[in-house]
A and B are shown apart, each in its own frame.
Chain A
Amino acid sequence: MIWLTWRQFRWQAISGAAILAVLAIVLGATGPGLATRYDQIGLPSCHAMCAALAQQFINELEFGTYGKLFYAGLVVMYLAPGLIGIFWGAPLISREFEHGTHRLAWSQSVTRTRWALGKLGFTWLVSVATVGLLALAITWWASPIDHALNYPQPSPRFDRLAPLVFGARGVAPLGYAAFAFALGVTAGVLIRRTVPAMAVTLVIFAGVQVVMPQLVRPHLIPPVQATAPFNANAADELAINTSGKGPATMTLVGNFSKPGALILSNQTITPSGRVFDGPPARVCLSNSAPPEACSNWLNSLHLRQLISYQPASRFWPLQGAETGIYLVLAAGLGGLCTWQIRRRRA
């Protein structure tokens, strides 16, 4: 069964290996240069001013080739599981149905269950291994940049927990690949036509990948709640909204600095506990009052910040939880596939 699976999977494996090789060459050619630059700038052994050095390192790279390669690495890591689900997963069984070759395959001495498990298992392992190698290579390449990005930054968007980076590092891509592959095979078994199965896999996988970071991941581990007094002089955002219909409202967002944390919500509340939204006092709306007058009035209200966040230290627990969920989903889908194949009356 292994030989048969390999023989049917040969071309996809070869093209996958070729793409991996090209990527490895690109990463291998540019990686050492990046690491050298990281050492030159003094970050590995820095004791003071590390954040400023890190910022300088990032600034240097952001608009050059290394910056573009970093973004490309993120894109590749997010696309790879989806492409594997579409091109390796969906056609696996559906191609047999479409051409009628399942009748030949199922009338051999190998039982249907063994046939299904053999095909699924072998190709699933190869898929996960491919994405694993890719994740390893890209994480190795980007490690200087990742280290620098995890120092305190003025506007962090790419630290480890940030939605854009989280799914492209660690073990999460393995879970995505496992799930995407299983999803593709299931779609193929249920729909029995290759191209529609590919389309359905794409849509469902894209949907899950969009919903997961927004709705599920922040709550995998109950977030940490923190309060802090609101200081109008150091706020992130102090806006007065005048829509002309009804009284003006204010939007206040205080400053909360926790390097590497994923801030889920940051609300400014009054002492009685409700969210403060104005109305702004006269000193805030008039053009003749000094700018500190508005801040002083806000500070006199004794507002507090209510922050809900995931600390940076939870990176690996969150990775583990998310990968676990995807692996369980993949196993469930694999079981569904096998059961469906056994049930079909050809």
Chain B
Amino acid sequence: MIWLAWRQFRAQAIVASAALVAVAMALLGTGPHLVSLFDSSGLATCQSGCGTDAGNFINQVKGSTTELIFYGGVFLVYAVPALIGLFWGAPLVAREFEAGTFRLAWSQSVTRARWIAVKLGLICLAGMATAGLLSLMTAWWASPLYQAAQKAGQNSLSINRLAPPLFGATGVAPIGYAAFGFVLGVTIGVLIRRTLPAMAVTLAIFAVIQIFWPTVVRPHLIPPVRSVQALSTANFDGITTLSGGQFVLSVTSVSGLPGGWFISSQPITAAGHAITTSPACVSKNNFIACLADHGVKLAVRYQPASRYWAFQWLDTGIFLVLGAGLGALCYWRVRRLS
């Protein structure tokens, strides 16, 4: 059965290996340049107060091909689980149904249960290995950038590996996504029994889950920390004053909480009530200082940077469990079909 699974999976395995090798070569070719930029910025030996050095380093990277490669790598690590679900998962069983070859496969001495279990298990492992290798390679390549963000301290230079855009492309989370995407594809293929519709539905469901998970589910996996910060410690990316004295503050980072993932922030009065209007300060030049003078503080709910690995293992674990559940559904359905 293992040989049969390999024989049917051969072409996809070769394509995946070739792609991994191509990515590895591209990363190896461009990695040393980033490392030399990092070395020459003096960050390697800096112990404290590295903010300006880190800022200079990032400015050199911004706008260059290196930035493009960084975001290309992030995009690739997000795309690979979807592609695995689409091209490895959905056709796995659906192709057999469409071509009628399931009749041959299921009339052999190997039981249906063993057939689906081996196919699912082996290719799932291959998918997880692909995603894991890719995540490892891009993490190695981008390590100067993440080190610079860590040393910068104050505001992590907008390279925040805990916050949604980068989180799912680092660490072990892509392994969980790949496993889930693959088993999702197989399940949809078993239920729909036509390859093309199965691929389309898998893509749609997987994309929707990946879009809503980081914003709706993940922030609440571990209850966020609540903290009251002085307005002067926060970095705002947008201070908007509307008519009627209403204002909106969007916080990107807070010094003293470097690398944190800020889920929500609310300006509060000294007594602790939320406020959204401040007619007294709206017309002033230094809006934030005026608010601070009036005793306004910032109540933030955030996830501290130290919880990065906790979230990584949570995400991976949850998606692996979901994948196992879908795999059991597949298994049961294939055994019951006639």
Residues of B within 8 A of A210 (CB): 72
Residues of B within 8 A of A237 (CB): 59-60
Q: How far is the CA of A241 from the CA of B238 in the complex (A)?
A: 33
- A60 with B248, Cβ < 8 A, contacts A198-B87, A251-B60 known: yes
Query: From A241, which residue of chain B is reached at the shortest CB distance?
Result: B40
Q: How far is the CA of A283 from the CA of B250 in the complex (A)?
A: 41
Q: Is B276 an interface residue (CB 8 A)?
A: no
Q: Is B36 an interface residue (CB 8 A)?
A: yes
Q: Is B121 an interface residue (CB 8 A)?
A: no
Q: How far is the CA of A196 from the CA of B199 in the complex (A)?
A: 13
Interface residues of A in 224-244 (CB under 8 A from B): 237, 239, 241-244
Interface centre among A63, A195, A199 (most CB of B within 10 A): A195
Residues of A within 8 A of B15 (CB): 199
Interface of A is mostly: helix
Q: Is B11 an interface residue (CB 8 A)?
A: yes
B11 to A62, Cβ gap below 8 A?
A: no
Residues of A within 8 A of B240 (CB): 56, 59-60
Of the candidates B11, B60, B68, B87, the one whose C-beta lies within 8 Å of that of A239 is B60
Of the candidates B40, B83, B197, B199, the one whose C-beta lies within 8 Å of that of A243 is B40
Q: Is B245 an interface residue (CB 8 A)?
A: no
Using an 8 Å CB-CB cutoff, how does the interface string of A171-212 with B read, 1 for contact, 0 for none?
000000000000000000000001110110010000000100
Q: Is A11 an interface residue (CB 8 A)?
A: yes
Q: How far is the CA of A72 from the CA of B39 in the complex (A)?
A: 37
Using an 8 Å CB-CB cutoff, how does the interface string of B76-91 with A read, 1 for contact, 0 for none?
0000000100010001
- A63 with B237, Cβ < 8 A, contacts A199-B87, A239-B59, A243-B39 known: yes
Interface residues of B in 1-53 (CB under 8 A from A): 11, 15, 36, 39-42
Q: Is A15 an interface residue (CB 8 A)?
A: yes
Residues of B within 8 A of A95 (CB): 196
A243 to B237, Cβ gap below 8 A?
A: no
17 more A-B contacts (CB under 8 A) besides A95-B196, A195-B91, A196-B11?
Answer: A15-B200, A59-B239, A60-B248, A62-B250, A63-B238, A194-B195, A198-B199, A199-B87, A214-B68, A237-B59, A239-B56, A239-B60, A241-B40, A241-B41, A242-B42, A243-B39, A244-B39
14 contacts between A and B (CB under 8 A): A15-B200, A56-B240, A59-B237, A59-B240, A60-B242, A62-B237, A63-B237, A194-B196, A195-B91, A198-B87, A199-B15, A199-B87, A239-B56, A242-B40
> A residues near B, CB below 8 A?
11, 15, 56, 59-60, 62-63, 87, 91, 95, 194-196, 198-199, 202, 210, 214, 237, 239, 241-244, 251
> B residues near A, CB below 8 A?
11, 15, 36, 39-42, 56, 59-60, 68, 72, 83, 87, 91, 95, 195-197, 199-200, 237-240, 242, 248, 250
By Cβ-Cβ distance, the 6 closest A-B pairs, closest first, are: A243-B40, A63-B250, A59-B238, A60-B240, A241-B40, A195-B91
